[in-house]
Amino acid sequence: MSKIEVNQIDVQCGSTLTVGSSGKTVSLASGASQTGFGRTGTVDWCTTAKTTPFTATSGDGFFVNTTSGGITVTLPSSPSAGDIVAFSDYANTWDCNALSLCRNGSKINGVCQNENLTTEGSAITLIYVDGTRGWKQVNDATLNVSGNPGFIAATGGTVTTSGDFKIHTFNADGCFAVSNTFGSGVGAKVSYVVVAGGGGAPGMKTSPSPCKGEGGGGAGGFREGKQACAGYTASPLAATPCSGLPVSVQTYPISVGAGGGGGTAPGNGTSGANSIFSTITSAGGGVGGSGSNPPISGAAGGSGGGAGRSPSGPGAGNTPPTTPAQGSAGGAASCSGSGNMGGGGGGATGAGANGPSGTGGTGATSSINATPTARSTGGAGGAGGGNPGSAGAANTGNGGQAGLGPGLGPGQANGGAGGSGVVIIRYKFQ
């Protein structure tokens, strides 16, 4: 094998120097480095996704995960012609949490300004050309490998739209029929709110005792999951951010729980029924407690029923347990002061108040259906008198209110029924 040792090779004439010949391979020895040749137009991909701000290095590609928020990448400083970097949307979330390009003193496409990458699922390669154009975009891939847009097609319930999102609202039992998911990932997940029926309140009993208040009905369980970039404000009970619920091509039966019945004095009420969508079950709210003989404690449920007069106790919430909790406990009864002697039913985000206040626990507000709406509020406890309790509104999962009255003398009052539940499903369709 011949060996040539020179400090410089130059073209004899013209401006083109040819190394090697057609069909031959020109290789660089192991451990040697080169300058001035540039690259072949490809990068070496770093397979550990970036989740925090970073500085790019020439010759490397980066998967950038903006699920938790926007990220800024600083381009290489003092780049040379032929320097190359690339970025890819790891979680298909750049449309809501952008990747920001900090130019670091160089132009981007001939402009002295930073740029934001906001196309979902895109990938971009930048090559530094010169001081006039700076970093120049050479390709932009915006499609999934399958070439499909990544959207769901489905029917069922009452369908409305909000921007690029479809909303399916089920006020009664039905079916959510998925006909296509167009691949996996964010495009095959939905946001959801599943609210169970609220618990009813018992009927007020006639009693010689001044302590005859009954407990308010507990709210139906409230469960929510928010898909990545779902375009709405979720409740505090939404599951892990950007979790959503995966769906596949099939029909999902939807069960919407009925509200529990209010008791006709002197009878007791009933607990609310469960609501179900796929793997998500919200438990019906517990019926309010009663001061009957023997006393009946408030029932456990999505949220627990409030206690009636002693020794009736309140019902536990978040039963069976979920994470985040689907509801709260009911309040205790009181035999002092004036007002509502029974405890309030628990709500989605707050326990029922103890008597004599006896107000129902706070619900949860979500704008999944494009309008901020409070659901799963506990029913108020009741005091003596003859005024009936009010029912929870339909499709709210609110607990029924116990009977109220102006005085503490003998009297009977019917308890209010719990409100029925609702199932709402939201996804991006275009």
Q: What is the DSSP string of 25-43?
A: ---PPTT----SS---S--
Give 362-371 pLDDT, tens digit per residue.
999 999 999 9
Structure tokens at 89: 């949307």
Structure tokens at 102: 């900090």
For the chain, give the longest Cα–Cα distance.
Answer: 119
Sequence-distant (6+) residues with CB within 8 A of 28 are 34
pLDDT at residue 184, as a whole number: 43
Structure tokens at 263: 């008791």
The CA angle 396-400-402, to the nearest 5 degrees, is 160
pLDDT at residue 351, as a whole number: 96
For residues 31 and 44, give the distance between their C-alpha atoms in angstroms, rounded to a whole number. Answer: 18
- Please give the C-alpha separations between residue 320 and each of 195, 256, 301, 304, in angstroms, as whole numbers: 14, 18, 7, 11
More confident of the two residues 202 and 321? 321
For residue 206, what pLDDT band results from cuts at 50, 70 and 90? low
pLDDT at residue 21, as a whole number: 72
pLDDT at residue 339, as a whole number: 54
Burial class (CB in 10 A: 0-12, 13-18, 19+), 106: middle
Domains recognised in the chain with CATH numbers: 44-141 (2.60.120.640), 148-430 (no CATH)
- Taking the CA atoms of residue 329, residue 331, residue 332 and residue 334 in that order, the dihedral angle to the nearest 10 degrees is 180
Chain-wide mean pLDDT for the chain? 85
pLDDT at residue 54, as a whole number: 96
The pair phi, psi for residue 186, each rounded to 5°, is -60, -30
pLDDT at residue 165, as a whole number: 92
Residue 408 has pLDDT above 50, yes or no: no
pLDDT at residue 373, as a whole number: 96
pLDDT at residue 121, as a whole number: 81
Of 7-16, 124-133, 298-307, the one with minimum mean pLDDT is 7-16
Residue 55 has pLDDT above 80, yes or no: yes
Query: 233: how many CB neighbours lie within 10 A of its CB?
Result: 12
Sequence-distant (6+) residues with CB within 8 A of 268 are 202, 203, 287, 290, 292, 296
More confident of the two residues 213 and 220? 220
Mean pLDDT in residue range 373-399: 83
Residue identified by tokens 């978040």 is 318
Mean pLDDT in residue range 188-203: 93
**Buried/exposed code over 116-135 (b: 16+ C-beta within 10 A; e: otherwise):** ebebbbbbbbbbbbeeeebb
Give 61-90 pLDDT, tens digit per residue.
999 999 888 899 999 999 999 999 999 999
